[in-house]
A = this chain, B = another copy of it.
Amino acid sequence: MLIQCVPNFSEGRDTAAIAAIAGAIGAAAGVRVVDCSADADHHRTVVTFLGEPAAVVEAAVAGAAEAVRRIDLTQHRGEHPRLGAVDVVPFVPVGETGMEACVEAAHCAGERMAAELGLPVYFYEAAAVRPDRTALPAIRGGGFNALRGAPLEGARAPDLGPTQLHPTAGAVVVGARGPLTAFNVNLRTADVAIARQIARRIRERDGGLVGVRALGLELPSRGMVQVSVNVTQPDRVPLYRVLELVRLEAARHGVLVAGTELVGACRLEELLEVARFALGMHDLNARQILDLAVVEMGG
């Protein structure tokens, strides 16, 4: 029974720290690190790994411990919103695994992060223990800087752990959810207002695609801006549709798409859907991808 874990850490520049965090995860017995996507402008790293639930919990706690040791949010200036050094830790079912196993893993990991690392813990989505705590952006709120020093009470009270932020590592949001595809579209302009306007036009909240969350961010190191997208219903909203909508809205401003990035991993089916669209290859199916059969045969 495999589950996937995709912790996001608020460090995207210090390669030694990133390697230490990913190394702590990969050193846990029985897990496989699939991807480690670090972004200097976001100042954030997303690690994707797989394993049996107990092994994944162990690895997630080890990665969080390393992040708490390494990351000081009081010194942090990055484009991406954040509440903690280990900012969000989602557990995701793989294959036939049910969501309950991920909820259990999230609660177990959250308990350990509160007890062993002294972090306030908020549970979200399928692992939420309060009905007003399902959506991640609402829990993250104004982020670390807005909440520093203030007591975490009332609506801000954590589900577990201390009632104030860890002085350097903030708090952690732990949860269980279905697949989510993180996808960035970089634009050939330095005007972040354009990225923000496009983000509003394509996201569900403001009249865009169902399940799409989007932010406009600056990419100072590249002299560009970015529409950073979370596709929370990737089986219904294919990546090409998100991109083409961004492209359309960017064209209003005479801005071209410089490229896109997949943050972390996605499922083969999402790529197949892109190929079906791009090639008009309507009947393409996963059985036609030789690599899967080869790996299944042990080749």
Contact = CB atoms under 8 A, between A and B. Distances in A.
A34 interface: yes
Given A50-B294, A274-B274, A287 B239 contact: no
A32 B297 contact: yes
Interface in A237-295: 239-240, 243, 257-262, 264-268, 271-272, 274-275, 277-284, 286-295
Interface residues of A, number: 49
Contacts of A279: 239-240, 243, 260, 274
B296 A95 contact: no
B280 A258 contact: yes
A50 to B, nearest CB: 6
A260 B277 contact: no
Closest 5 CB pairs of A and B: A278-B278, A2-B299, A268-B291, A259-B280, A265-B290
B95 A294 contact: yes
Nearest to A280: B259
Interface in A27-49: 32, 34-35, 48
Contacts of A267: 289-291
Given A2-B299, A293-B50, A299-B2, A277 B280 contact: no
Contact of A50 (B50, B271, B299): B299
18 contacts: A34-B287, A94-B290, A239-B279, A257-B280, A261-B283, A265-B289, A266-B289, A267-B291, A268-B290, A268-B291, A274-B275, A274-B278, A275-B275, A275-B278, A292-B292, A292-B295, A295-B295, A295-B296
A51 interface: yes
Contacts of A226: none
Contacts of A291: 267-268, 286, 292
A51 B294 contact: no
Contacts of A287: 34-35, 265
Given A95-B299, A264-B288, A267-B290, 12 more contacts: A35-B288, A50-B294, A51-B297, A259-B280, A259-B282, A260-B279, A260-B281, A261-B281, A262-B281, A268-B289, A271-B289, A274-B274
